[in-house]
Chain A
Amino acid sequence: MPVSLIVGTKKGAAILTSDKNRRNWSSDFALKGWPVTASARDEGGRYYAAVANDVFGPAIFVSDDLKEWKQLETAPRFNPGDKGNEQHIRIAGAADFMGRYKDSPRLVDQIWTLHAAHGAVYAGTSEAGLFATRDRGKSWEPVSGFNDHPNRDKWEPGFGGLCAHTILSDPKNPNRMWVGVSSSGFFRTDDGGKTWNEKSKGVNQDVGICVHHVTHDPANPDVLFRQDHRGVYRSDDAGDTWIVTENGLPGGELSDGHKCSFGFAIAMDRKSSSVFIAPLEGDNFRLPHNGQLAIYKSNDKGANWQPRKSGLPSNCYSGVLRGAMTTDQLDPGGIYFGTSSGTIYASTDVGESWIEVASELPRIMSVEAYAT
């Protein structure tokens, strides 16, 4: 079955489409000039691409054919009176030469993730927020239980700001969802978004709760795999408790001397239940270990990890960003990731070997795969 990738880059979206064997790929480039931060496809087959321009702000484009894109007339937005997080404003408003942010507004400056579930499309934003559209983008509603979380005034941003970057859902239980926020925690709702509880018991929290990315198999949604700032973890109980799962991963030293496996991207192939991560050399360097680009694979729920580097370059000094690795859920599973220096790699044998699909793209911020 052919696959299309929406590759979100700093200057537009590369649309890569394969033949039925996923060996030969054609490419197109859309949304030129717009940083493309996330994409999703809804249950009706409509594609959504989030953009965020430093000057002109965030928005969402939609397409029914991956060729013609039209911007929605609405976008996720906070209520005008919402008070913002002062630390996030300090980060996001670093160039605030006009003093516009003195009254600490809460503004959506980027859409970090899009997630289709239960007839809706959800958007996770920075400043951290959760929004949903149930009419294919005609309107966006805030998920108030999350956006007005009672502990929100204690939330703290990571170095990239206070962002809601990960959304997961339970296909059988529309009342349960998870949202990851850097660096304030991994939140779960069991009542359809009215209340959210932070779920990081067992995760090292010495520098806040800096969840980087989380994945799971929707068919077995309570088993979660988590790449944190301070290590790799698994939960078998929907996030209530976590255990470290780093056997076989390359360790690294963080700024404060803590040793763990650092990275951002994590993805799961549902057919094989294999999990994939892209370790980086600590939070200072954020480069592949020893210049060898490698994806680590676990076939046993994270108990053990093995490097997979066939087809991947040595002398490589670019990383894999949080949203830049994904899977196509075909059989055998296709795994795809993009680097910060603009190369896309694909595996059609569940991560055992890799081929270069595209290169010379701008910095890759997001990759999503869609079987077509």
Chain B
Amino acid sequence: MIRVRVPPVLRAVTGGARVLEAEGGTVREVFEDLARKHPALGLHLFDERSGIRRNIICVHRDYVVRAGEMAGRAVDEGEELILANAFAGG
């Protein structure tokens, strides 16, 4: 099981949950499992073509994983991902 930390703006979608659990061997697979379990959240992770939305990032082992890297980024059982967004500005 992988723990995924949910950013504050998405907690309106997860019923307030700060951490969700999902399964998968890569970051993308974890997101796919999240989308299956939480369809409303899935709308925010994947676009019409099942691509991970381009400005989503996540932190894994202190490394910032960009959307295009998520399918190839392996995760191990028990690890944590921090779902985030490339925000800028005030």
| Interface SS majority for chain A | loop
Shortest Cβ distance from B56 into chain A, in angstroms?
6
Closest to A73 in B: B39
Known: A73-B40, A80-B48, A108-B48. A57 touches B9 (CB 8 A): no
Q: Scan residues 30-85 of chain B and give those whose CB is less than 8 A from a CB of chain A.
A: 39-40, 43-45, 47-51, 53-56, 66-68, 85
Known: A71-B13, A73-B39, A98-B68. A78 touches B86 (CB 8 A): no
Q: A95 an interface residue at 8 Å Cβ cutoff?
A: yes
Closest to B39 in A: A73
- Chain A residues with CB under 8 Å of B8's CB are 33
Shortest Cβ distance from A59 into chain B, in angstroms?
5
Q: Scan residues 1-48 of chain B and give those whose CB is less than 8 A from a CB of chain A.
A: 8-10, 12-13, 39-40, 43-45, 47-48
Closest to B86 in A: A55
B53–A57 CB distance below 8 A: yes
Interface size class of A (residues with CB under 8 A): 20 to 34
Complex partner residue of B43 from A75, A82, A93, A98, CB under 8 angstroms: A75
Alpha-carbon gap, A53 to B53, bound state (A): 11
Alpha-carbon gap, A107 to B47, bound state (A): 7
Complex partner residue of B48 from A32, A54, A55, A105, CB under 8 angstroms: A105
Q: Scan residues 70-107 of chain A and give those whose CB is less than 8 A from a CB of chain B.
A: 71-75, 77-80, 82, 93, 95-101, 105-107
Shortest Cβ distance from B75 into chain A, in angstroms?
20
Alpha-carbon gap, A75 to B43, bound state (A): 8
Q: A120 an interface residue at 8 Å Cβ cutoff?
A: no
A79–B48 CB distance below 8 A: yes
Number of B residues whose C-beta is below 8 Å from A?
Answer: 25
The count of A-to-B residue pairs whose CB atoms sit within 8 angstroms is 77
A interface residue numbers (CB < 8 A to B)? 31-34, 53-57, 59, 61, 69, 71-75, 77-80, 82, 93, 95-101, 105-108
B49–A57 CB distance below 8 A: no
- Chain B residues with CB under 8 Å of A74's CB are 39, 43
Alpha-carbon gap, A95 to B87, bound state (A): 12
Closest to A11 in B: B9
Closest to A60 in B: B43
B54–A98 CB distance below 8 A: yes
Alpha-carbon gap, A301 to B9, bound state (A): 45
* 6 nearest A-B residue pairs (beta carbon): A55-B85, A56-B44, A33-B9, A98-B68, A73-B39, A55-B55
Shortest Cβ distance from B10 into chain A, in angstroms?
7
Shortest Cβ distance from B15 into chain A, in angstroms?
9
Closest to A75 in B: B43
Shortest Cβ distance from A130 into chain B, in angstroms?
15
- Chain B residues with CB under 8 Å of A80's CB are 48-50
A93–B13 CB distance below 8 A: no
Alpha-carbon gap, A31 to B8, bound state (A): 11
For the complex with contacts A55-B86, A71-B12, A100-B51, 15 further pairs of A-B residues with Cβ separation under 8 Å are: A32-B9, A32-B12, A33-B12, A54-B55, A55-B53, A56-B9, A59-B44, A61-B12, A69-B12, A78-B48, A80-B48, A80-B50, A95-B54, A98-B54, A107-B49
A98–B44 CB distance below 8 A: no
- Chain B residues with CB under 8 Å of A34's CB are 9, 12
